[in-house]
Structure 1
Amino acid sequence: MVKIKKNIAISDSGFVFDPGSGDSYSLNPSGLEIVQMIKLGKDFSAILEAVTEKYEVDSDSFERYYYDFIATLAQLHLTEPDGKD
């Protein structure tokens, strides 16, 4: 399961700050929702269900988006090293 590093600060407006590197990022509203669900410990299937119920997106499209998004978070060093879902 993917885990966001504990030291990563995420505001309610989608501002992400990594105190280890000093880097900051901005999430769009759907990205923020996904990161918040990951922080709550939800797995891919729970996130898939929540997002496909709320937004007009099919599960295959969301799955591609989700894993691309997770790969980006990993490249930015915002996830735990073995965080796989």
Structure 2
Amino acid sequence: MLKLKSNVAISESGFVFDAGTGDSFSLNATGLEIVQLIQAGKDFPEILKILSEKYEVDPESFERYYYDFVATLKQMNLFVHHGEE
């Protein structure tokens, strides 16, 4: 399960700040919604169900974009690795 590091702060407007590195960036509304669902402990099937009911998106496209997005977040080192925290 994905879990954001405790030193990562995300504002309601989508501003992300990593206190550990000093890095910051902004998420668009959909990216923010996905991160909030991840923070709530939702896994991919749950996130797909929630967002596909809310938006018109085909599951194959969403899956590709979701995993690309998550890979970017992982590359930015925003998630806890197993055994950490």
Structure 1 residue runs of 5 or longer lacking an equivalent are none
Aligned residues: 82
Task: Give the structure-1-normalised TM-score.
Answer: 0.92
Task: Give the structure-2-normalised TM-score.
Answer: 0.92
Higher relative contact order (CA closer than 8 Å, sequence separation 6+): 1
Query: Offset of 1:33 from its aligned partner?
Result: 0.2
Q: Rg larger in 1 or in 2? A: 2
Indicate the RMSD between aligned Cα atoms, in angstroms: 0.8
Correspondence list, 1:14-25, <5 A: 14-25=14-25
What residue number does 1:74 align with? 74
Which stretches of structure 1, 4 residues or longer, exceed 3 Å deviation after superposition? none
Equivalent position SS for 2:81: coil
Query: Offset of 1:7 from its aligned partner?
Result: 1.4
Structure 2 residue runs of 5 or longer lacking an equivalent are none
